[in-house]
Amino acid sequence: MKATARVASAAALALFLVSPILPLQLSTQTVGGGRGDSVEAAEQRNASAFAIILGEFRTNVSDMIFIKTERYLDSGIAYLPHINTDAMAQSGEIETRRRQPAGHDATTCTDPSHHHDHDHDHDHDHDHATSETDHESTDSVAALQRQVEQGLTTAKMREAAALKPGETTGHDHTHEFVDTIIRTAEKDFRGFIGHLERRVKPWRDPRLPHRHTAGTELLPWYRLATMSNPQFVRGYLIGAWWLKKQRTEEQTLEALKFIEEGIANNPNAFQLHLMRGHILRALKRDAEALQSFRRAADLGIAQRPPDGKEGPTWTSYNEDDITAAILLSVFIERDTKGREAALTLAREYRSRMETFPPLDRVIRSLEQPTQTPQGNANASDSP
């Protein structure tokens, strides 16, 4: 018995001594750049029962920030993450968990501001690489910027970005509501304990209109998140986006500084270069912006699967972003150096990919200078 224990101890000691060799077996390949996560992926993950139970208890900085963002924009009210995975699986598109009264549709609605066929905040086409018909969304600089923004942020964030501290939206979604994590009185089995919770915690009847508040108060969380995890690419992107949305030169310069810090920490994340380009354009530094877009395009093309198909490391959001980087490079090249230079650049990009329908379309329109396409590819359409 003693001998067996001795042998086991010796074996354990030997294994411990050789353990430093193990890291040599690890792949030395650098981690590819990328946004790291999409807003829908975060929503989906945080809509799970376990995530809801955990609340703000997270070890993942990305999820913690997602929850913080949701709560801060709703004055602390904890709404259920707005995703319905069943509907998504059935229809192929993401619908928010919003309810409409029976019989409420385009024919019965009298609210002119309500678009019944709208794509709301999650209007992603998940087949960008193969679709040739969805070109309206990629034919202008403004549309490309909007597309990148929609992949990065939720509608609530975009709405709140326009607010200053102290301002709220009287967002009157009278025909739809999102459940709160704290139960309503009718559904609460806890009696007076439930009543007390609704009084003590930020809570509002989900049937009442939502009131969103400014998102600037979130910026320290993004700063802290990127300080604790410099590889949190999404944190840099959204933080810079919030800053840029302040629309003052000082904050736009801060956004530039922040995104450059992100690039220093994640040089291969092509979305960071793309965001840098957008910020530089806002600062009217177009030549530098073009360099950033081209850098984003080069990095993105190197990371993209040749056929652009979605996979574990390449999502529809990556595809949207690389589309934006490539087309923005081409459009700005066209606007600054002319059609021939843009065509050369477009062909050069195209030669590095097996398929890329949006670029094929742009090349065709550049080859036909006299014919103005239905979109505005030929027009100078700076935002």
Partner 1 sequence: MRAVWLIARSVLVEAVRRKEIYVIVLASLGLIGAVMTVDFFRLEGLSKFYREIALKIMGVATALTVIVLAARQLPREFEARTIYPLLAKPISRTTFLLGKLLGVMLAAGFCFTLFSAVFLAGTLYLGSGLHAGLYAQYLYLQMIQMLVLATMAFLLSLLMNLDAAITLGAVFYALSSVLMSAVSYIYDWVGAVGKVVLLALTILLPQLPLFDLSEKTVHAERVTLGGEWTWTALDAPTMAMLTAYGAVFAAVYFGLSLLLFRRKPL
Question: Binding residues for partner 1, per CB under 8 A?
Answer: 49, 52-55, 57, 71-72, 75-76, 164-168, 181-183, 189-190, 192-194, 196-197, 199-202, 211, 213, 216-217, 219-221, 223-224, 227, 243, 246, 250-251, 254-255, 258
**In 3D, which of 144, 85, 87 has the Cα closest to residue 319?**
144
Rank residues 254 and 319 by Cβ distance to partner 1 and give the closer one: 254
Rank residues 220 and 383 by Cβ distance to partner 1 and give the closer one: 220
Rank residues 118 and 199 by Cβ distance to partner 1 and give the closer one: 199
Report the nearest approach of partner 1 to the CB of residue 167 (Å).
5
Report the nearest approach of partner 1 to the CB of residue 300 (Å).
27
Report the nearest approach of partner 1 to the CB of residue 81 (Å).
13
Report the nearest approach of partner 1 to the CB of residue 227 (Å).
8
Question: Cβ neighbours of residue 53 under 8 Å, at least 6 residues apart?
Answer: none
Question: Cβ neighbours of residue 246 under 8 Å, at least 6 residues apart?
Answer: 216, 252
Torsion on CA atoms 157, 161, 165, 166, rounded to nearest 10? -70
Report the nearest approach of partner 1 to the CB of residue 70 (Å).
13
8-state DSSP, 53? H
d(CA 270, CA 303): 9
Rank residues 129 and 256 by Cβ distance to partner 1 and give the closer one: 256
Report the nearest approach of partner 1 to the CB of residue 262 (Å).
13
d(CA 43, CA 63): 9
Angle at 21 between CA 15 and CA 22, to 5 degrees: 85
Q: Are 377 and 335 in contact (CB under 8 A)?
A: no
User: Hunting for tokens 């150096």 — which residue is that?
Assistant: 337
Q: Are 232 and 36 in contact (CB under 8 A)?
A: yes
Rank residues 72 and 314 by Cβ distance to partner 1 and give the closer one: 72
d(CA 64, CA 226): 12
Which residue type, as a one-letter code, is found at position 331?
F
Tokens of 75: 């004055």
**Full 3-state SS string of 250-303:** HHHHHHHHHHHHHHHHCCCCHHHHHHHHHHHHHCCCHHHHHHHHHHHHHHHHHH
Rank residues 68 and 175 by Cβ distance to partner 1 and give the closer one: 68
Report the nearest approach of partner 1 to the CB of residue 241 (Å).
13
Rank residues 20 and 165 by Cβ distance to partner 1 and give the closer one: 165
Report the nearest approach of partner 1 to the CB of residue 46 (Å).
13
Report the nearest approach of partner 1 to the CB of residue 263 (Å).
17
Rank residues 54 and 283 by Cβ distance to partner 1 and give the closer one: 54
Rank residues 124 and 276 by Cβ distance to partner 1 and give the closer one: 276
Rank residues 16 and 192 by Cβ distance to partner 1 and give the closer one: 192
d(CA 36, CA 369): 39
d(CA 34, CA 303): 9
Tokens of 209: 């209109």
Report the nearest approach of partner 1 to the CB of residue 154 (Å).
19
d(CA 187, CA 179): 11
**Helix (H) or strand (E) segment spanning residue 240:** helix 233-245
